[in-house]
Amino acid sequence: MTDYKVYRFSGREKLLYGAEAVALVAMIAYVFYRSVIAAVFLLPLILFFFKYKRAELKRKRKFELSMEFREAIMSVNASLTAGYSIENAFVEAGKDMARLYGEDGLITKEFIYLTRALRANETLETILSDMAARSGVEDIRDFADVFAAAKRSGGDLNRIIRRAADTISEKMDVKREIETLTSSKRYENRIMEIVPFAIICYISLTSPDFIESLYHNAAGIAVMTVCLCIYGAGFVMAERIVNIQI
């Protein structure tokens, strides 16, 4: 389900990103067109900006939730080793997550809901499947599927959870390494996104006559529009390259 609440903007985030979007539109209108009218035509970019920010927010929080879920499953595994039943192991894991990530932690909120649902006599496999559907996190979905299949077939849940914990841990280590390697590339990408604006502003300040012919005439507007489209395509390609999914 894409309407998972942790992937929504808070009121403060909406105001912040709204201000950023308006500033971006104003900057593009000035740098590429030097026209207020152009800003009006560029207003739809605000929608694309919010869509981009939401995708970025979703990517970050899904990664965060995946990392926290790994810790939760390892905690469940430890509780099972200590002799807890499977349901009580998940309840104890929720307490561990509250101590580790605080009451506002993404996984803490999920395990609070899980504990309440267990007390309402919902089955654990149904709760995990619901968590997987709402979050859209692949690791949670895989774990929920394996857990449900094991429950139906009467498999060794302790062994399955231990194996799942090891598998998720290995996968998260790979994801964390990729995130570390690509973080510097993302920073470089942000710099490269600013460079075209910086170059145009530099030329405007140092040699205004050289660039003035690109403004307030049909040919100049066409050239600048093509340049803006190329810049947009480059931005999209760069974002896809640095956002590696495994």
Q: Which two tokens stand for residue 150?
A: 């094991």
Domain of residue 99 covers: 8-242
**What is the maximum alpha-carbon separation in the chain?**
80
CB neighbours (10 Å) of residue 144? 21
If you search the block for the tokens 């947009």, which residue do you land on? 232
Domain count, the chain: 1
pLDDT band at 244 (very low <50, low <70, confident <90, very high): low
Domain-embedded: residue 1: no
pLDDT band at 234 (very low <50, low <70, confident <90, very high): confident
At 2 the pLDDT is: 41
What pLDDT, on a 0 to 100 scale, did the predictor assign at position 236? 85
> What pTM did the predictor assign?
0.75
**Cα end-to-end span (Å), the chain:** 20
What is the sign, positive or negative, of the torsion defined by CA atoms of 234, 236, 239, 245? Answer: negative
CB 238 within 8 A of CB 189: yes
Six-digit token pair at 99? 């101590």
Residue 209 lies in a domain: yes
Under the banding of pLDDT at 50, 70 and 90, the label for residue 112 is very high
What single DSSP character describes residue 8? Answer: S
3 falls within a domain: no
**Chain segment 189-207, per-residue pLDDT in tens:** 888 888 888 888 888 888 8
Residue 102 backbone class (left: φ over 0; alpha: ψ -120 to 50; beta: rest): left
